[in-house]
Amino acid sequence: MQVRIGIAAAPGQIGLLPVHAVNRVYVTAVRLGGGLPFVVPMLDPSDASAVVAELDGLVLSGGGDLDPATYGGVAGPDLAGVDSERDLWELALVTAAEDLGVPVLGICRGLQTLNVAAGGTLVAHLPDCTDQAHRVIERDSEAVHPIDVVSGSLLDGLTGAGCGVNSLHHQAADRVGSGLKAVAFAPDGVIEALEDTRWGRTLGVQWHPELLTGQPEQVALWSWLVDASAAWRTRRSGGMTAVAAVPAGAAPVPVLVADGSAAAGAVRAA
């Protein structure tokens, strides 16, 4: 049985139709890493544990800014794309994954969500505190700056001491949350990666490795997630491959896998 990797969807809209959307590049990256991707729609936070229990691993995708209220911040004029329902849902997913031991890979906003879930804070707008450009959207599929990776970290074992990354963000981790440590930095000192300090099952990166899959060190991040998820499933099932049960009365949930203008619909059980 292939390793089941859930990708947290973002709210979207096609015409007048509200959808749960995931950029197709996340799906492709999970497949490159050897996993079987599933789109995880936004549900009530009380459903998070039940959802995560059916997964072997979890991806927190990129997107809009977290509501500053989630980390004791103040809304500024550059705040964009806030969706409080998404914030609460993904924070609940992180808590559930930590409680159950499910590996998590956080991408850009996903790193920030991991940090806020651990009690950390965010830099609200990087241009206010650094001259380095961190939002270079016209070069999203190429490395725009190097990162310095902490020796001996989980990330070091995947990418080596440093690599080039893209940069599509205007916020970043500030105070690091409990149980996490910063393991990579941009030239200006901005935190580029976080990982957990105990089990090595949580990794957050500030860049978008799903857009850099031509680089072996970026594919290594996805392979790590799948390998860690497979190991977790084996431990959970006592060394035997588990087959997930479909919850009684599960209703079909409309989901969308999208790459911007192109879109394709799909329906699966919740």
- Catalytic site residues? 108, 208, 210
Q: How far is CA 215 from the centre of its chain?
A: 19
Token output for 18: 């509200």
Beta bridge partners of residue 257, listed in sequence order: 22, 264
In 3D space, the residue among 189, 166, 167, 191 whose CA is nearest the CA of residue 180 turns out to be 191
On the 0-12 / 13-18 / 19+ scale of CB atoms within 10 A, 123 is buried
Sheet holding 252-258, edge to edge: 10-14, 17-23, 252-258, 263-269
DSSP E strands in 102-248: the ranges are: 104-107, 122-123, 145-149, 162-165, 172-173, 180-185, 191-196, 202-205
